[in-house]
A and B are shown apart, each in its own frame.
Chain A
Amino acid sequence: MLETIWFALWGILWAVYFVLDGFDLGIGTLAPFLTKNEGEKRSVYNSMGPYWNGNEVWLITAGGVTFAAFPKTYAVMFSSLYSALLLILFCLIVRGVAMEFRSKFSSTGWKRFWDTLLWVGNFGPALLFGVAFANLFRGILIDGSGIYHGTLFSLLNPYGLMGGILFTLIFAVHGSLWLTLKTNGDLKGRAANLAGSLWYALAAAAVVFLGATYVSTHLYDNYIKVPVLFVIPLAAVGALVGILLFIRQAQWLKAWISSAVFIVMVTLFGVSGMYPNLLISSIDPAFSLTAFNSSSSSLTLEIMLGVALVFVPVVIAYQAWVYCLFGRWDHQLAQSKRQK
C-alpha cells in the first residue's frame, strides 16, 4: 500500500514539475522565433525570471523522492540514462545562468551569447525529457543486475524521438500561453497566434504518440485490466480540446490552465500505464524494477510520507501565493504603463 502511495506521489511530482517548469522550457525554446527587439527579449526573460528557480526545485524533489522511496530505481535509472541526464543537467545549468548573467553587461554580443544559451538550455531538456520518458514507457535494455546494455543512441529510437517531439510541442504551447498572460502588444499577439497554430501540430503529435504507444509499449494493459483508468486519457483529450476552445475565445488564463491539466493527464497516463513498474526492462520483464521490488523500508516510506503530507501542502500554498503576488505586480505594472 505504502509503495503504491509513493508510486502515485512519484508520478504526481513529475507532473507538477512538467506543468511548472514546462512553461519555462517552452518559452526558452520559442524565444528566438518570437522576439523582434531588445524590449521584447526582456519581457520574455521577465516572464520567467521570478519563477524558474522555484519551479526547478520540483525536479530536485522528484529526483530526491526517487532516491528516498525507490533507491534501487534511482540507482539503475540514473546510471543507465547517464549521458542523457547529464546533458539535461548541463542544459539546466546554462539556462539558469543565462537568466542571471544576461543583464549584467549591455554589450550586444554578450546578450546574444546568453540568448543562444537560453535557447539551448531550454530546448535541450524539453526534447530530452520527452525522449527519456518515452523510453521509460517502452522499457530500456537493463539486465537482472541493473546493468544497462545500450548507449545514448539506443534511446533515440523512433518511439523515443516521437516522445521528444511531443514533449517539445506540449511545452511550446504551454510556454506561448504563459507569454500571452505575461506580455502585451505585438509580442502577446504573436504568442497567441503561435499557440493557436502549434496546437494543431500538438494534436497531431498526440494522436500519433497514442497510436505508437499501443504498438511499442504495454501501457494499455493496465487500462484494459481496469477500464475506469480510461478517464485519464479522456481527461487529457478533453483538456487538449479545451486549450483550443479557450484560445479561440481569447481566454488566456483558462487556456493555460487547460494546458496544465493536459500536461498532468499526459504524465499520469504514462505513469498509470507503467504501474507497478518504475523502470521496465526491454530484455526481460522479470528484470523490471517495480514499486515493490525497489522500494525503501516501510519505516522510511512512512516517515517520508509524514514529511510529504505536512510540507508539500505548505510548499504549494506559498508557491501559489507567490504566483498570485507576481500576477498582481504584473497587473499593476501594466496599468501604470498604460497611464503613462
Chain B
Amino acid sequence: MDTLMLSRLQFAAATFFHFLFVPLTLGLSVMLAIMETNYVRTGNEEYSRMARFWGKIFLINFAIGVVTGITLEFQFGTNWSRYSEYVGDIFGSLLAIEATVAFFLESTFVAVWAFGWKRLSPKAHAIAIWLVAIASNVSALWILIANAWMQHPVGFVIRNGRAELDNLISIIAQPFAWHTIVHTISAAYILSAFFIMGVSSWHLLRKQHISFFKKSFRLAISFALIFTIVEVVQGHMHGGEVAKIQPTKLAAMESLWVTTRSAPQYLFVIPDPDNERNLVEFGAIPGALSMLAFHDFSAEVKGLKHFAPSERPPVTLSFVSFRVMMTLGFFFLVMAIIGWFRRDTIEQRPALLKVFLFSIPLPYVASEFGWMLAEVGRQPWVVYGMMKTSNAVSPVAASQVAISLGAFVLVYSFLGIVAYYLMWSHSRKGPSDDTALPDAADEEVGYA
C-alpha cells in the first residue's frame, strides 16, 4: 500500500476510535449538569449519587477523548502536510480558536469537578460541571464548523497558491455548518441517552436500585425523545442540503447511476459499481427521491454517470453507511416514543427493558456510519471541489506510516478493551450505597 492509502486508513482509525468516546462525553456532561442542578434545587441525595455514578463513566470517556484528540490535530501536520499548507490559513485558525476558547475551559474545570466533591458547595460543584458541559459542546461546535468547511468551503479566496481567509463570519454562519452541528450533537445526545437507558434497564431487570435507575431512565428518555425527533427532521433537511452542495455524495448514497427526473426511491437496492448499475432495484416509490432531496416530485437528480469516474466517491460504502444510519435513526425514534409513554411503569416491562439493554451499541454504530458517509461520501475530495485527497498527503515514506498505523492499531485496541471493560464493570456494579463523597485524600480519584 502507498502512503496515501496508509494515511487514509490511519486517519480513519484514529477518528473512529476518537468518536467511540467523544459522543458520550457531550451528552453525559449535560445530563450530569442537570442531575446536579436537580440536587441543588431539591436537596435529594439521590441526584448527587446519580451524578457520581454516571460521572465515573464520563471521566473514563473524557480521558480517552482528550488523549486521542491530540493525535487527530497533529496528524494534519504529520500525514496531511500538503493539505495543512494549502488550507491552514482557514482550517488551522478554526482548530486554534477551538483550543483557546473551549478546550482549556473544559480541561481545567473537569479537574475542579472531579476533585471538588467534598470541597465545593453543591452549587459551585454544579457550576463546574455546567462549565465542562458548555465548553465540551462549544468545542465540538468549532470542530464541526471546520469539518463543514471541508464539506462545503466558503469564505475564502485562492491567493498566493493557497486558500486564504476572506470572510470568517460566512464560514461560521453557513447553513451547512449548523446542519452538521445539530446533526452530530443530537446524535451524541441520543447515544448518551440510550447508554444511560441501557445500563438502567440492566439493573431494573434485576430489580435493584429501582428508584435510582428509574430516575436516570426518565431523564434519559426525555433527552432521547427530543433529540430523536430533532435528528429525523433535521436529517431530512440535511439530506436536502447535501443534494444541493454535494451532488456526488447524494448520488452515491442513493446509488443512483443515471440522471433522472422525478427519481424514485427504492426500498431495496444492491449496487453493482463495477458495471455502473444496480444489480437489484425493488419497491420503487415514484418521485420520492426527487421529493426528499428537492421538495419537488419532478425535480432532476444527478446520477453518478453524470460525473467522471475519477470524481465519484466509493458507492457501496456510501450507500450502506447511509442506509444503516437512517434505519437506526428511525429505530431510535420509535424506541424513544414507546419508552416515553411507558416511562412511569418501565420497571414492570422486561421485554422493553431488554430491547433498551441490547440497544446500547446501536447509536455507536449509527454515529460511526454517519461519519463514514460524511467522509467517504466526500471523496475523492478532501475539501469538496477544491482539493483532492491524493494531493493532500505528506511526502513521507510509506514504511513510516505503516509502522505508525500498526502502533495506532495496537495501542488503540488495547486502550479500547481496557476502557470498555472498566465501563462495563462499573456499570454492572451499580451505584454504591455509601453516601460519603469521594476525596482525593482517601483514594486516587480517577480523573482525566
Q: Which residues of A pack against B, CB within 8 Å?
A: 42, 45-46, 49-51, 53-54, 56-57, 59-61, 63-69, 71-72, 74-79, 81-83, 85-86, 89-90, 92-94, 96-97, 99-104, 146-148, 296-297, 299-300, 303-304, 307-308, 311-312, 315, 318-319, 322, 325-326, 329, 332-333, 337
| Chain B residues whose C-beta falls within 8 Å of the C-beta of A296 in the assembled complex | 88-89, 92-93, 164-165
Whether the Cβ atoms of B111 and A46 lie closer than 8 Å is: no
Interface residue SS majority, chain B: helix
Whether the Cβ atoms of A297 and B77 lie closer than 8 Å is: no
Whether the Cβ atoms of A53 and B79 lie closer than 8 Å is: no
Whether the Cβ atoms of B104 and A319 lie closer than 8 Å is: yes
Whether the Cβ atoms of A74 and B95 lie closer than 8 Å is: no
| Chain A residues whose C-beta falls within 8 Å of the C-beta of B92 in the assembled complex | 64, 66-69, 71, 74, 296
| Chain A residues whose C-beta falls within 8 Å of the C-beta of B99 in the assembled complex | 57, 60-61, 64
| Chain B residues whose C-beta falls within 8 Å of the C-beta of A76 in the assembled complex | 81, 85
B350 within 8 A of A: no
| Chain A residues whose C-beta falls within 8 Å of the C-beta of B114 in the assembled complex | 50
- For A329, give its contact among B84, B115, B415 (CB under 8 Å): B115
Assuming the A-B contacts A67-B76, A74-B92, A315-B104, are A50 and B444 also in contact, with contact meaning beta carbons closer than 8 angstroms in the complex?
A: no
Whether the Cβ atoms of A64 and B84 lie closer than 8 Å is: no
Alpha-carbon distance A300/B59, docked complex (angstroms): 35
Alpha-carbon distance A99/B396, docked complex (angstroms): 33
**Pairs A–B under 8 Å by Cβ, sample size 8:** A45-B444, A53-B447, A68-B92, A83-B400, A146-B85, A296-B88, A299-B165, A300-B165
Whether the Cβ atoms of A78 and B447 lie closer than 8 Å is: no
Whether the Cβ atoms of B111 and A54 lie closer than 8 Å is: yes
Whether the Cβ atoms of A54 and B104 lie closer than 8 Å is: yes
| Chain A residues whose C-beta falls within 8 Å of the C-beta of B111 in the assembled complex | 49-51, 53-54, 322, 326
- For B84, give its contact among A49, A59, A74, A148 (CB under 8 Å): A74
- For A92, give its contact among B67, B95, B168, B407 (CB under 8 Å): B67
Assuming the A-B contacts A54-B104, A82-B396, are A67 and B88 also in contact, with contact meaning beta carbons closer than 8 angstroms in the complex?
A: yes
Assuming the A-B contacts A50-B115, A67-B76, are A297 and B165 also in contact, with contact meaning beta carbons closer than 8 angstroms in the complex?
A: yes
Chain B: interface residue count, which band? 35 or more
| Chain B residues whose C-beta falls within 8 Å of the C-beta of A57 in the assembled complex | 99, 103-104, 107-108
| Chain B residues whose C-beta falls within 8 Å of the C-beta of A51 in the assembled complex | 111
| Chain A residues whose C-beta falls within 8 Å of the C-beta of B100 in the assembled complex | 61, 64, 307-308, 311-312, 315
| Chain A residues whose C-beta falls within 8 Å of the C-beta of B104 in the assembled complex | 54, 57, 61, 315, 319
| Chain B residues whose C-beta falls within 8 Å of the C-beta of A42 in the assembled complex | 444
Alpha-carbon distance A184/B105, docked complex (angstroms): 31
Name which residue of chain A comes closest to B95, CB basis.
Answer: A64
B404 within 8 A of A: yes
B226 within 8 A of A: no
Interface residue SS majority, chain A: helix
Name which residue of chain B comes closest to A55, CB basis.
Answer: B107
Least CB distance, B241 to chain A, in whole angstroms: 26
Alpha-carbon distance A89/B70, docked complex (angstroms): 8
Question: Restricting to B13-46, which residues have a CB under 8 Å from any CB of A?
Answer: none
Least CB distance, A287 to chain B, in whole angstroms: 14
> Which 10 A-B pairs have CB atoms at the shortest separation, nearest pair first?
A71-B88, A78-B77, A67-B92, A64-B96, A75-B81, A68-B92, A103-B444, A68-B96, A79-B394, A79-B81
B82 within 8 A of A: yes
Whether the Cβ atoms of A49 and B444 lie closer than 8 Å is: yes
| Chain B residues whose C-beta falls within 8 Å of the C-beta of A90 in the assembled complex | 407, 411
Question: Restricting to B63-109, which residues have a CB under 8 Å from any CB of A?
Answer: 63-64, 66-71, 73-74, 76-79, 81-82, 84-85, 87-93, 95-101, 103-105, 107-109
Name which residue of chain B comes closest to A333, CB basis.
Answer: B441
Whether the Cβ atoms of B168 and A71 lie closer than 8 Å is: no
Name which residue of chain A comes closest to B63, CB basis.
Answer: A100
| Chain A residues whose C-beta falls within 8 Å of the C-beta of B63 in the assembled complex | 96-97, 99-101
Q: What is the 8 Å Cβ interface bit string for chain B, positions 156-168, against chain A (1 contact, 0 not)?
A: 0001101011101
Alpha-carbon distance A90/B446, docked complex (angstroms): 20
Name which residue of chain B comes closest to A303, CB basis.
Answer: B168
Alpha-carbon distance A63/B72, docked complex (angstroms): 11
| Chain B residues whose C-beta falls within 8 Å of the C-beta of A54 in the assembled complex | 104, 107-108, 111
Q: What is the 8 Å Cβ interface bit string for chain B, positions 379-395, against chain A (1 contact, 0 not)?
A: 00000000000000011
Best-buried of B71, B104, B119, B162 by chain A (most CB within 10 Å): B104
| Chain B residues whose C-beta falls within 8 Å of the C-beta of A318 in the assembled complex | 105, 108-109
Least CB distance, B101 to chain A, in whole angstroms: 6
| Chain A residues whose C-beta falls within 8 Å of the C-beta of B59 in the assembled complex | 100
Alpha-carbon distance A147/B82, docked complex (angstroms): 11
Assuming the A-B contacts A61-B96, A64-B98, A322-B112, are A72 and B448 also in contact, with contact meaning beta carbons closer than 8 angstroms in the complex?
A: no
Assuming the A-B contacts A92-B70, A97-B64, A304-B93, are A78 and B407 also in contact, with contact meaning beta carbons closer than 8 angstroms in the complex?
A: no
Whether the Cβ atoms of A82 and B88 lie closer than 8 Å is: no
Least CB distance, A43 to chain B, in whole angstroms: 10
Whether the Cβ atoms of B74 and A93 lie closer than 8 Å is: no
Least CB distance, B235 to chain A, in whole angstroms: 31
Least CB distance, B99 to chain A, in whole angstroms: 4
B60 within 8 A of A: yes
| Chain A residues whose C-beta falls within 8 Å of the C-beta of B129 in the assembled complex | none
Alpha-carbon distance A315/B73, docked complex (angstroms): 20
Whether the Cβ atoms of B448 and A67 lie closer than 8 Å is: no
Least CB distance, B406 to chain A, in whole angstroms: 11
B418 within 8 A of A: yes
